[in-house]
């Protein structure tokens, strides 16, 4: 069998587009975010800010899952997907990441009272934890699509017949999340004794969601036996 790999054109296009997404996210994470100086009476209530952002984060795994499902159905498993389709679907995914980065920057840049700095920094670290997981997954995806044979060999997988190359995106609970829970409860109690965190405050949701899995199948078709050669399971 030849080592030359003939990926379907749509998959090559997807890899190229996702490389730009990966590099942009890498750049965004490396960028310094200064704190915005704010007058005391204009500072945000940090307890409310933490609660609001945790509610947003609670929806993140499902949002990512929906976007990956679209990529699988409209690009990976769509034999007639063209450059326009690939660009549209990757742009949707980019928009999700842009929103996530914007929220991270907003938190990191908040001016805060001394007692609130811990809550702000912990919340920012929770965001960054998941952004790094997404960045690392994108890197693995791009490298796998660039050279599936090397990816299979690296994992010790056979390169004949049907081979599964699962690309698993685990959105795990940041270590700071438990510390943030303690901070939130402590500061909530110190402000209003009856103002306990709501059930939907976003704490503990990672254990419910688990992982988003993108599975790529590489079969003999990937090695030029037919025009499709890519099977995806989510």
Asked which of 117-131, 132-146, 167-181, 201-215 is least confident by mean pLDDT, the reply is: 201-215
pTM of the model: 0.80
Using CA atoms, how far residue 168 sits from 78, 103, 145, 176, in Å, is 21, 24, 14, 22
Residue 8: its pLDDT value, please? Answer: 82
Residue 204 carries which DSSP code? T
CA 221/CA 228 separation, integer angstroms? 7
By the 8 A CB rule, do 51 and 65 touch? no
Asked which of 46-55, 129-138, 168-177, 209-218 is least confident by mean pLDDT, the reply is: 209-218
pLDDT band with cut points at 50, 70 and 90 for residue 215: very low
CA 231/CA 181 separation, integer angstroms? 41
Q: How high is the mean pLDDT of the chain? A: 78
Going by C-alpha positions, the residue among 132, 131, 111 that lies closest to residue 120 is 111
pLDDT band with cut points at 50, 70 and 90 for residue 73: confident
Going by C-alpha positions, the residue among 179, 178, 177 that lies closest to residue 127 is 177
């Amino acid at each position: 069998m030849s080592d030359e790999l003939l990926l379907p054109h749509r998959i090559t296009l997807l890899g190229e587009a996702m490389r730009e997404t990966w590099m942009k996210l890498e750049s965004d994470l490396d960028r310094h975010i200064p704190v915005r100086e704010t007058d005391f009476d204009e500072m945000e209530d940090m307890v409310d800010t933490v609660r609001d952002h945790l509610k947003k984060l609670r929806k993140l795994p499902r949002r990512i899952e929906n976007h990956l499902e679209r990529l699988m159905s409209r690009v990976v498993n769509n034999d007639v997907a063209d450059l326009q389709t690939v660009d549209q679907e990757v742009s949707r995914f980019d928009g999700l990441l842009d929103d996530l980065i914007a929220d991270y920057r907003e938190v990191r840049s908040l001016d805060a009272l001394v007692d609130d700095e811990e809550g702000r920094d912990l919340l920012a670290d929770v965001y960054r934890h998941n952004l790094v997981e997404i960045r690392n997954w994108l890197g693995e995806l791009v490298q796998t699509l660039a050279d599936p044979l090397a990816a299979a060999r690296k994992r010790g997988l056979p390169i004949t017949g049907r081979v599964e190359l699962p690309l698993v995106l685990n959105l795990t609970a940041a270590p700071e999340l438990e510390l943030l829970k303690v901070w939130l409860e402590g500061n909530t109690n110190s402000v209003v004794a009856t103002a306990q965190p709501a059930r939907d405050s976003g704490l503990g949701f990672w254990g419910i969601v688990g992982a988003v899995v993108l599975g790529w199948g590489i079969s003999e078709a990937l090695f030029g036996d037919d025009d499709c050669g890519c099977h995806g399971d989510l």
